[in-house]
Amino acid sequence: MKSILGKKVGMTQIFTEDGIVIPVTVIQVGPMTVIQKKTIEKDGYNAIQVGYGQVKEKRVNKPLKGHFGKANEEVKKYLREIRFDNIDGYEIGQEIKADIFAVGERVDATGTSKGKGFQGNIVRHNQHRGPMTHGSKYHRGIGSMGGSATPARIIKGKKMPGHMGHERVTVQNLEIVRVDAEKNYLLVRGAVPGPKGGLITIKETVKASK
């Protein structure tokens, strides 16, 4: 399974040869560097550990500096693991770039959604408001809270106000519309989660195209 880390640049649109407009998300992917290889014999599973993004060395603690130094690589902002069934094709210090993907391939994009802070039920769960007239004094409240005398408690899972957003989200089966191997850009059809500049993980889709 192919996978790469990237940074969300933003959204734009492109036109096909037939003049059809396609909304796309621009993602600056890689180059990411292989920092460590993990094997079933030593670690219990096969994976590669990769570093991505530039960061000042003073912002990295000593254990991480030693970890990157062991691989003879500069410190990176992000350190992630990617599991593979077979890691024989990867070596420490190898760079992984945008050219591992091709136009027309289907991918899954994973990121952290935008945080919305504390929100009420109308915004958070798309519930309806109460009546605004005829003496109603309960307009944007949560509604019925329980089952009267039985079970005399709020049932677990009740949709209530609370923190909204800032959670890990995956959008599946997106099409790669364009690949810029020189500048390491991927143009993916549709929207991906997260704000501009947010970390995005792109990997081969686990869902077949319909």
**What residues does each domain of the chain span?**
3-116+170-204, 119-165
What per-residue confidence (pLDDT) applies to 150? Answer: 83
Q: Which distant-in-sequence residues (6+ apart) come within 8 Å of 36 by Cβ?
A: 48, 49, 67, 71, 92
Mean pLDDT, rounded, of the chain: 90
Tell me how far apart the alpha carbons of residues 139 and 16 are, in angstroms, rounded to a whole number.
48
Please determine, for residue 122, whether its predicted confidence score (pLDDT) is greater than 70: yes
Q: Which distant-in-sequence residues (6+ apart) come within 8 Å of 92 by Cβ?
A: 34, 35, 36, 37, 71
Sequence letter at residue 142: I
Residue 9: Cβ within 10 Å count = 16
Q: Which fold has domain 3-116+170-204?
A: Elongation Factor Tu (Ef-tu); domain 3 (2.40.30)
**CB burial class (10 A; 0-12, 13-18, 19+) of residue 51?**
buried
Tell me how far apart the alpha carbons of residues 170 and 149 are, in angstroms, rounded to a whole number.
41
Residues 46-93 pLDDT 10s? 999 999 988 898 999 999 999 998 888 889 999 999 888 888 888 898
Tell me the pTM.
Answer: 0.83
